[in-house]
Amino acid sequence: MINGGPTRTKPETRDSFMSVDGVRLHWTELGETSLRIPVVLLHGLNDSHLTWKRAALALSVDRRVLMPDLPGYGLSERPDASYELRWHARVMAKWLEAIGLDSVDLVGHSFGGGVAQVMLLECPSKIRRLVLVASGGLGRQVTPVLRLAAIPRVVERFGQRFMAFGTRVALGGDGAGLSKQDVMELSAMNGTPGSARAFARTVRDVIDWRGQRRTFFQSAHELAELPPIAVFWGDRDTIIPAAHGRAFAAFVEGVELRQFSGCGHFLHTEQPSAFARTVRDFLDDAAIPRARLRRTDALPMARWTRPSGMKWLISAPERARATAATALDSCFGFWRRKALRAKAAGFSGVGATSSSAVAAVSS
């Protein structure tokens, strides 16, 4: 609010449900329909519409803001589905069609950024502008915790009983900007039966023990044109490195790259006012041109490929054990490095790991 300006009442929050492609979806809205294009905010893994609460409040002053819960998350249904990235994008594209939105500005955080990228293939004419926030799908590296979660069948089979408790523990510190009430609500949502299955299958489709396995560059050649694109990243992100954003901007001409100083993976909750202001500036700047792919032959490799014949050298059980061992070693190495950095900075072990624990659950 501008000092000296009129007092604003808190906007009314509206919750809605609709069955789309056989999945009952939930979304929350703020703001009213205006001459400005509506904004759709897509959350990340094990997260919900709650993550956008403070940033959405600022954005809704002059436009309609919609915050859907992705299938399998928040208050949306948890069907026995594939939860593949393309499936998520297809369901969300059909949701836009079902609620009558012909043009939107799309903002995606982490996994939600990956969904937003694939929506460029599913409904390109509906996306006027795209904002990718610490987005997945722009490079290979990702936190070892998520690589560990990608081990087949472990989380899906044994993880459900720990989903609510794990959320409370991981978000029990600063909560990545969430209030205690929000933490309790998200914990209850993640404790809903089917949450572990949704999380495990989602992770398994986009991540393996080597890192991210779905990238923008795999399907970039299928895009006839791109909308104006902005990429936001925190310079202290330990979940997905900010270098991915810089690399993306180098390969896609016209991308607006904004770095948030002192922020980790959840810049929209850590600095909600600055985040909302930067989003609004990008969305309302009529002079920003469409992004454009540079030469496709210069794009980075889409994914790691196994040397010819290597997969036949060891049996399937041996490969599974090797995958688990490598992921565990990578994970423990990650925490060892965090502990060493914390010790060097003079922090306690608990305080040093709290932000990483939050990000591991809510990425």
Predicted pLDDT of residue 9: 57
Length of the chain as a residue count: 363
pLDDT digits over 23-39, tens only? 999 999 999 888 899 99
**Summary mean pLDDT of the chain:** 81
Q: What does the pLDDT read at residue 12?
A: 83
Distance CA 159, CA 193 (A): 11
Are 280 and 59 in contact, with CB atoms under 8 Å apart?
A: yes
Reported as a pLDDT band with limits 50, 70 and 90, residue 166 is confident
* Cα–Cα distance for residue pair 277/59, rounded to 1 Å: 8
Among 144-148, 251-255, 330-334, the least confident range: 330-334
What pLDDT score was predicted for residue 333? 45
- Could you list the beta-strand ranges (E) of 279-361: 292-293
Copy the structure tokens of residue 276.
Answer: 């909302």
Question: Each residue of 241-252: pLDDT tens digit?
Answer: 999 999 999 999
CATH number of 14-304: 3.40.50.1820
Q: How confident is the model at residue 295, as a pLDDT?
A: 62
Q: If you average pLDDT over residues 93-98, what whole number do you get? A: 98
The answer to whether 117 and 137 are in contact (CB under 8 A) is yes
Indicate the pLDDT class of residue 358, thresholds 50, 70 and 90: very low
Q: Which of 334, 326, 352, 349 is nearest to 143 (CA)?
A: 334
pLDDT of residue 303: 40
**344 C-beta neighbours (distance < 10 Å), count:** 8
Quote the pLDDT of residue 297. Answer: 57
> Cα angle at 93 between 92 and 97, to 5 degrees?
115
Query: Between vectors from CA 299 to CA 88 and to CA 137, what angle results, nearest 5°?
Result: 25
DSSP string, 138-192: SSS---HHHHHHTSTTHHHHH-GGGHHHHHHHHTSSSGGG--HHHHHHHHHHHTS
- Give CA–CA dist 278/232, Å, rounded: 9
pLDDT tens by residue, 103-141:
999 999 999 999 999 999 999 999 999 999 999 999 999
DSSP for residue 72: T
pLDDT computed for residue 154 by the predictor: 85
Phi, psi values for residue 344, rounded to 5°? -65, -30
Sorted by sequence, the CB contacts under 8 Å of residue 282 that are 6+ apart come out as 129, 131, 228, 230, 256, 258, 288
Q: How far apart are CA 198 and CA 87, in angstroms?
A: 12
Q: Which two tokens stand for residue 267?
A: 């810049």
C-alpha torsion sign, points 229, 233, 239, 241: positive
Structure tokens at 36: 């400005």
Supply φ then ψ for residue 68, to 5 degrees. -80, 150
Q: Would you state the pLDDT for residue 108?
A: 98
Angle separating helix axes 195-206 and 111-122, nearest 10 degrees? 70
The one-letter amino acid code at 1 reads M
- Is residue 286 pLDDT above 80, yes or no? yes
Summarised one tens digit per residue, pLDDT across range 290-335 is: 999 986 555 554 443 333 333 333 344 444 444 444 444 444 444 4
3-state secondary structure of 315: coil
pTM for the whole structure: 0.79
Contact 64, 99 (CB under 8 A): no
Q: Which residue has the higher pLDDT, 153 or 67?
A: 67
Q: Rounded to whole angstroms, how far apart are CA atoms 255 and 229?
A: 5
Is residue 42 within 8 Å of 163, Cβ to Cβ?
A: no
